[in-house]
Amino acid sequence: MDTITPYLMEVINLTDTTKYCANCGILIEDDAEFCPDCGVKQLIIQKEVKEIKNPGLAAVFSFLVVGLGQIYNGQIAKGLLLLVGAVISGILMIILIGFVFWIIIWIYAIFDAYNTAKRINSGEIIT
């Protein structure tokens, strides 16, 4: 038992979700409503509310329709902007240069949708 205990402790440390008290700064349970030390009420991180975005799906959406992946990610204004940019580029295709813009916007939209979805999932971006 003595040999396995440090290993178990490490596993617990890795899997345990902890946070710090907003008042005194001690390490407390992630889902603790009150700090066990100072008793101050903690802000509960609403994990349930946080949507998980599928980066692959976001990329596919932007692949099919420019900006759709951004809208899926909750970045509606950005998605619409990209869509408008793609439409304008589509019109400019008559004079050929639009094709270049359209490709750039399209590729950007796909990669941005993918990366943004990943960043939303990691909590880097709050939508």
Residues at the site binding Zn ion, with contacts judged by CB under 5 A: 21, 23-24, 35, 37-38
Sole residue written with tokens 């617990």: 12
By residue count, the chain amounts to 127
Measured from the CB atom, the residue of 24 and 80 that comes closer to Zn ion is 24
CB 28 within 8 A of CB 21: yes
Residue 29 Cβ vs Zn ion, minimum distance, rounded to whole Å: 12
Tokens of 89: 């580029």
| Displacement of CA 59 from its chain's centroid (Å) | 13
C-beta of 11 vs 38, nearer to Zn ion: 38
CA dist 76 and 55 (Å) reads 16
**In the complex, minimum distance from the CB of residue 41 to Zn ion, in angstroms, rounded to a whole number:** 10
- Residue closer to Zn ion by CB (options 21, 66) is 21
Least Å from the CB of residue 26 to Zn ion:
6
